[in-house]
């Protein structure tokens, strides 16, 4: 690993995946010289990661680890990252560590900081699906025990934390940084039109993304999902995740892609431009469930459970199974002529775009050993 220690960079921001870069970018910008960007390398690609940092005007990571999974799986990855992060924190201790969401990097960052006696801020705390088969759910539970400050995106997330015995004074309802990150990344209208044209998405289309093991590791689910999209009778634009592409080839499903407009993976501004111009979104992504509420777009979530029920309650998203349920739900959404007007008038359940400012105040207060600003839930 290589590092650039700095006495001033006393708030370590641990991240390892592109969604974490997106959601933590507004906070990193607010922290300025106090931010020590620690990239675990969990999903590191020099070209893609550099693009994501550049999109938000961020410096390169101050510390880059080799977080590749290798042949030993998730447990070895979390263990290795925890050890490397702990060595870094002992060598050059930050005064606070920020982690986001529910990745292996999040779990490792929180564990390393806690074992080194450094307070932990958990951004997007309190999400729960109730599905322990999801690796992310276990990561959420682990970090929920270790964090010193829980930045819950919604009142429901705060209630989840309170239900597990988290002290109210450690919880703040901040909203979700995805709101400001989405607005920062969304290109202007003319650029959105250009991007749509460049990706073969002139006119009406559906935008679909699939990457979760729940869908890609099952040949039956993946075939049912792709068949539903192919049978929709609408142009379907699908930036294809490398995992999905590999599984399509492994299961012999390439013929289904011939009926879709398949592209390579895209960066965040490009995805948002396509999502903004689409009539309907279909995805198994957690982040897209939040971004849809900012873009005011209908979303079909192809999953058996979700840790983001607020988007469902607000009317932006709906859980569906692949195959006929997906096909019927998509046709119904496309036929609902009032849907877009209803969503345009519905507020995002993830806040007003001030989450990063609130989290910045909490993280710097924790680092400075000052009282935490804001009120605890119920007070």
Distance CA 78, CA 272 (A): 31
pLDDT in tens, 21-44: 999 999 999 999 999 999 999 876
Instruction: Give the pLDDT score at 379.
Output: 66
Instruction: Give the pLDDT score at 69.
Output: 66
Whether residue 7 is predicted with pLDDT greater than 70 in this model: the reply is: no
Residue 322 binned pLDDT confidence (cut-offs 50, 70, 90)? very high
Q: Which helix (H) or strand (E) holds 317?
A: strand 317-320
Distance CA 78, CA 328 (A): 40
Distance CA 211, CA 238 (A): 11
Distance CA 207, CA 299 (A): 10
Q: Is the backbone of residue 176 left (phi > 0), alpha (psi -120 to 50) or beta?
A: beta
Beta strand 206-209 with 236-239 is: parallel
Instruction: Give the pLDDT score at 50.
Output: 73
pLDDT in tens, 213-233: 999 999 999 999 999 999 999
- Class of domain 186-344 as given by CATH: alpha beta
**Ranges of each domain in the chain:** 2-175+354-367, 186-344
Whether residue 205 is predicted with pLDDT greater than 60 in this model: the reply is: yes
Distance CA 200, CA 218 (A): 29
Contact residues for 139 (Cβ-Cβ < 8 A; gap 6+) = 102, 103, 104, 106, 107
188-192, 240-244, 297-301: the lowest-pLDDT one = 240-244
Fold of 2-175+354-367: Rossmann fold (3.40.50)
Say how far residue 379 (Cα) sits from the centre of its chain. Answer: 29
Say how far residue 105 (Cα) sits from the centre of its chain. Answer: 13
pLDDT in tens, 77-118: 999 999 999 999 999 999 999 999 999 999 999 999 999 999
Residue 46 binned pLDDT confidence (cut-offs 50, 70, 90)? low
Which residue's structure tokens are 């007003």? 352
pLDDT in tens, 272-289: 999 999 999 999 999 999
Q: Which residues form the catalytic set?
A: 211
Q: Which two tokens stand for residue 144?
A: 């929920």
4-13, 300-309, 369-378: the lowest-pLDDT one = 4-13
92-96, 235-239, 264-268: the lowest-pLDDT one = 264-268
Q: For CA atoms 341, 289, 164, 152, give the dihedral sign.
A: negative
Distance CA 215, CA 173 (A): 32
Whether residue 163 is predicted with pLDDT greater than 90 in this model: the reply is: yes
Residue 84, number of CB atoms within 10 A of its CB: 20
pLDDT in tens, 165-175: 999 999 999 99
Nearest Cα residue to 282 out of 246, 247, 236: 236
pLDDT in tens, 111-149: 999 999 999 999 999 999 999 989 999 999 999 999 999
- Percentage helix, strand, coil, to 5, in the chain? 50, 15, 35
Which residue's structure tokens are 């400012």? 357
Whether residue 5 is predicted with pLDDT greater than 90 in this model: the reply is: no
Kindly write down the DSSP assignment for every residue of 201-246, as one continuous string. --SS-EEEE---HHHHS-HHHHHHHHHHHHTTSS-EEEEPPHHHHH
Helix (H, G, I), strand (E, B) or coil at 142: helix
Residue 47 binned pLDDT confidence (cut-offs 50, 70, 90)? low
**Would the CATH topology of 2-175+354-367 be identical to that of 186-344?**
yes
Percentage with pLDDT > 90 across the chain: 87
């Amino acid at each position: 690993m290589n590092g650039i220690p700095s006495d001033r960079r006393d708030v370590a921001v641990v991240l390892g995946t592109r969604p974490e870069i997106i959601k933590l970018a507004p906070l990193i910008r607010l922290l300025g010289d106090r931010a020590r960007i620690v990239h675990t390398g969990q999903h590191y690609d020099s070209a893609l990661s550099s693009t994501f940092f550049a999109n938000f005007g961020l410096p390169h990571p101050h510390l880059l680890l080799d977080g590749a999974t290798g042949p030993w799986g998730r447990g070895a990855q979390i263990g290795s990252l925890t050890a490397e992060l702990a060595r870094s924190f002992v060598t050059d201790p930050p005064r606070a560590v920020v982690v986001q969401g529910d990745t292996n990097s999040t779990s490792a960052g929180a564990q390393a900081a806690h074992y080194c006696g450094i307070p932990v801020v958990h951004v997007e705390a309190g999400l729960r699906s109730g599905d322990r088969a999801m690796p992310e759910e276990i990561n959420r539970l682990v970090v929920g025990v270790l964090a010193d400050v829980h930045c819950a995106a919604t009142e429901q997330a705060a209630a989840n934390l309170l239900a597990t015995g988290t002290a109210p004074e450690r919880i703040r309802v901040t909203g979700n940084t995805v709101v400001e990150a989405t607005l920062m990344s969304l290109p202007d209208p003319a650029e959105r039109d250009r991007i749509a044209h460049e990706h073969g998405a002139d006119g009406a289309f559906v935008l679909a993304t699939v990457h979760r093991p729940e869908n890609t590791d099952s040949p039956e689910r993946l075939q049912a999902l792709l068949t539903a999209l192919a049978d929709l009778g609408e142009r379907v634009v699908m930036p294809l995740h490398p995992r999905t592409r590999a599984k399509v080839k492994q299961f012999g499903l390439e013929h289904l892609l011939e009926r879709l407009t398949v592209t390579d993976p895209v960066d965040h501004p490009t995805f948002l431009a396509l999502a903004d111009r689409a009539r309907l979104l279909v995805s198994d992504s957690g982040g897209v469930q939040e971004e849809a509420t900012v873009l005011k777009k209908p979303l079909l979530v192809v999953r058996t459970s979700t840790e983001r029920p607020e988007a469902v309650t607000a009317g932006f998203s709906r859980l569906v199974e692949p195959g006929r349920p997906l096909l019927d739900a998509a046709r119904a959404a496309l036929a609902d002529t009032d849907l877009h007007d209803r969503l345009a008038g519905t507020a995002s359940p993830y806040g007003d775009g001030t989450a990063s400012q609130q989290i910045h105040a909490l993280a710097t207060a924790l680092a400075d050993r000052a009282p935490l600003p804001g009120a605890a839930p119920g007070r």
